[in-house]
Structure 1
Amino acid sequence: MAKERSMVDLGIKGLIGLLAGVVCGFILMYLGGKETPWIAQLLVYLDCLGQIFLRLLKMIVVPLVFCCITNAIIGLGEIALLRSLGLKTFAYFFFTSCIFSFIGVMVAKLLKPGAAFTLEQFKNASFDGSSANFINAIIDFFPDNIVKAAANTSLLQIIVFCAFFGAAVLSLGERGKTVANMLKETELAMFKIIGYVMILLPYGVFCLITYALAFYGPSVIGGLLIFIACDWITVIIGIFTVHLLLLTFVGKVNFFKFIANFKAALVVALAGCSSTATLPIATATAKERIGVPGKIADFVIPLGSTANMNGTAGFFSIITVFTCQLMGVELSIPQYVLLIVESCLLAISCSTVPNTGIVIAITVLQSFGLPIEAIGLIVGVYKFCDMCHTPTNCLGDWVTATCIASSDGVLDREVCVCSLGGGATAKRS
């Protein structure tokens, strides 16, 4: 609880940094903005500090993804689970995240948050991804040199390597436990580093927002509000289409009663912005109120807290389309398909720690040759986005566990308080 409280406190400090940056930005703008020599010099220093903050975020990406993905696979416990329950679970995760990512693209293209900005910095930026070939992009999923992939922050190649590495460690059985324990400890160390960097969040946000307002003017405020609206609209549409339909037709349970039974876990997710905090409540609810067998609940829900990020996948699509709009460029249809797939795969690497999504988003932009400076525009308001991501991500885990139990005919309809009927009744295991 102390950890979750500290995360909430950090979010509040970030919002204070955002508000302070808005006030200072408007004051500097009123005093003449970048046309005034002393303000122009001050903006150079503010930009420098903001860029250092962004670089520190980028620094953590590769080791964090490597540890999180590998540990998620090792966490399956045995190769047999990876082949059966693991593959089915990942298929649900991937399918639902793809739909959320697609919705994110459509909402961002419709509301055009990036078009609300008039930033010459982005209009004049070069776009490296315009000639990207879809087939070559698929080939590029597979690394020929893992060290080179790490140096270039090619996260999709790192994820493929992690899949092989995690499976290999699993196959070693007892002999692989030393490596598994080392990776778990390394992952904890990466979370510590994120914690250290996030201490700088209020100051980084202050510098980035002050610079943006004083340099570009008040147009950024409207664009940020539209960006937040895109994120919330995406998850709301996703929840009331993907999750509702899956629960109704696969899980055969009442969607609204299902949500009501998880309300305590949803409140924890909303307040703490961390999936981990919901695990005890959510797992107990799934078993005792929904009728999910212990074997499935104890596997799917903890794994989903690491590897199932529906809301975050939508966010990756939104920020990519947002950045394209800032630059005045358009992705091709194959590139949009690639974006949806890539968003889903990279969302797997967004662990249970708050603010990880903003770190991984840097790589999504890099893979399409887009400037990562766009992150600086939205990092101050990411807390408002993360507040809707985490409950959505958690809900996806609970929906997946219920649907898998129902499709396997092992959902206990005698226990389930929201069953629609029509499914096989099975006793809990």
Structure 2
Amino acid sequence: MKKIALHWKIIIGLVLGIVWALISSQLGWSQFTIDWIAPFGKIFINLLKLIAVPLVLFSIISGVANLGDPASLGRMGGKTLLAYLLTTVLAVGMGLTMVNLIKPGKLIDEQSRIDNRISYEIWAAEEGYVIKDGINYLQDPEFMDRAREISDLTKSDLQDASMNDKMKAADATKDAGPLQPLVDIVPDNFFSSLADNGLMLQVIFFGLFFGISMLFIDQKKVAPVTKAVDGIMEVFLKMVDFTMQAAPFFVFALLAGVVSQMAGNDIGKVVEIFKGLSWYSLTVFGGLALMIFVIYPLVFKIFVRKVSYFGFFRAMGPAQTLAFSTSSSAATLPVTMECVEDNLGVDKKVTSFVLPIGATVNMDGTCLYQAVAVVFLAQLHMIDLTLGQQLTIVLTATLASIGSAAVPSAGLVMLIIVLESVGLNPAWIGIIFPVDRILDMCRTVVNVTGDATVSSVIAKGEGLFNYNPNKAPDEAFDIEENS
């Protein structure tokens, strides 16, 4: 019997988890599911959180340090990094625009969102987080009664939780100046930053600072450090791989627990959850489609000009197809290089430098999806994120993309980082997990298309772009052979 691929096992696990949640909701077994199955989902989240911070740290250091001697990077290196940074910010901005216009999290019934909000406030109080929008539903007697119904906390516990949040909010805002967000990015104690999940931007800052400093040291002296960092990063990637091997079971437990906790014994709430999930998926698809079919061709039209709209997609078809099937920018890299060199006419001097960097630091699709996912989850829990908090999402998603490994499911780890950066519950990834795989395939196509676009723009600027519109893409290219 042919071995079932991991992603199909994960899909089977999540489907079974949803089916189990529906059955337990119908039969009144939700408490059993929460007590005996959901904890394994929490173990899965804890494993991902355990790996996420050191993986991001060492991936960022490795990615920056391996850019090479800063003197040798020259003009092309500066242009490349700037171009990738701009496309990433553009993608996150597109995601935030789409999710704020469509508001997919607000398209489910209000009572479900109120219950979600109450659960969020209870979680924030237990974990020591400040309520993001400064509103506390637990201070309203009407909602406190509902909170007692959906939790096992007493009235006095809930009152303590609401007052605790109020005190934390006051402490957080006291003596805060206009540049406090900038001050907060620079740690005074790096090890404290590692221990506090809410200080992820400080870890990213340290990783960038460390990696850039390595660039300015003689390569012979810094080689052992580079080798050690690369080796440690590979160990953490292997830990992700081991965790994902057990993901089918963990995903079953996670989905069963999350859906049961949100729905209780009311099966109608399950329907509402997936109604919101459908709108979320359409929002992400819409943003990714705009990046592929509008934004990148527009960049081509402005900066390259030589390639027609359909000519670009004919040239990149094999790479985009492989990206969709593998969900991996790294696995697609050889195909991307061949398409960009042979079909678009970009000189090998550019592709050999720009595309490997792109596979490491350019995660446009992933960043767009993270922006939509975080705001959607906030909307689902009646949390109104301010412009400043949404800009934090932009900054965290952009910087974390440098440390996002170009492999399937890496975006899931990065999403935990982004959620924690704005004080939201990382366990909420279970809500969007059912559609993550198909969205992962689509956002990898965006990543690869972005790599091709940037490399073509750089080549045009360097006079190394030799596109021949009469040359057809290599139809004999065997995608399967290179996958």
Instruction: Give your verdict on TM over 0.5.
Output: yes
> TM-score scaled by structure 2?
0.79
Residue number in structure 1 paired with 2:208: 163
Residues 128 and 368, structure 1, Cα contact 8 Å, conserved in 2: no
Q: Aligned letter for 1:137?
A: P
Query: What residue in structure 2 maps to residue 272 of structure 1?
Result: 326
Aligned pair partner of 1:66 in 57, 60, 73: 57
Matches within 5 A, 1:245-324: 245-252=298-305, 253-324=307-378
State the partner residue of 1:225: 278
Counterpart of 1:129 (choices 127, 132, 136) is 132
Note if 1:192 corresponds to 2:192: no
Partners of 2:190 and 2:7 in 1: how far apart?
Answer: 35
Conserved? CA contact 1:297–1:401, under 8 Å:
yes
CA distance in 1, matches of 2:383, 2:19: 32
Name 2:248's counterpart in structure 1: 202
Instruction: Tell me the equivalent position of 2:96.
Output: 105
Q: State the partner residue of 2:22.
A: 26
**Structure 1 range deviating more: 49-58 or 71-80:** 71-80
Match of 1:383 in 2: 437
- In the TM superposition, residue 263 of structure 1 has moved relative to its aligned partner by 1.3
> Aligned partners of 1:298 and 1:135: how far apart in 2?
40
Shift of 1:160: 2.2
Equivalence for 2:294: 241
Which shows bigger deviation, 155-164 or 366-375? 155-164
Q: Indicate how the Cα distance of structure 1 residues 224 and 300 shifts in structure 2: closer, same or farther if over 3 A, else same.
A: same
Cα distance in 1 for partners of 2:375, 2:104 equals: 9
Matched AA of 1:334: G
> Normalising by structure 1, what TM-score?
0.89
SS in 2 for 1:348: helix
Q: RMSD of the alignment, in Å?
A: 2.3
* 1:403 shift after superposition: 0.5
Q: Deviations over 1:200-238 (max 9, x none)?
A: 211122112222333413222222222222211111112
Paired residue for 1:12, among 8, 11, 31? 8
**SS of residue paired to 2:185:** coil
Q: How many residues align?
A: 408
Query: Which of 182, 185, 192 lines up with 2:228 in the alignment?
Result: 182
Secondary structure, counterpart of 1:205 in structure 2: helix
Shift of 1:99: 1.6
SS at match of 1:262: helix
CA–CA separation in structure 2 for the residues paired with 1:416 and 1:300: 25
**Shift in CA distance, 97/179, structure 1 to aligned 2, threshold 3 Å:** same
Identity %: 28
Answer whether contact 1:18 1:381 (CA < 8 A) is retained.
no
Q: In the alignment, which residue of structure 2 is the partner of 1:422?
A: none
Does the alignment pair 1:49 with 2:40?
A: yes
Residue 412 of structure 1 is matched in structure 2 by: 466
Post-superposition shift, 1:88? Answer: 1.6
Change (3 A) 1:72 1:148: same
Q: Specify the code of the residue in structure 2 equivalent to 1:10.
A: L
Partner of 1:334 in structure 2? 388
For structure 1, the 5+ residue unaligned runs are: 35-39, 419-429
Q: Structure 1: how far apart are the matches of 2:407 and 2:396?
A: 21
For the residues of structure 2 that align with 1:201 and 1:408, how far apart are their CA atoms? 46
Instruction: Tell me the equivalent position of 1:172.
Output: 218
Q: 1:417 to 1:183 in 2, by over 3 A?
A: farther
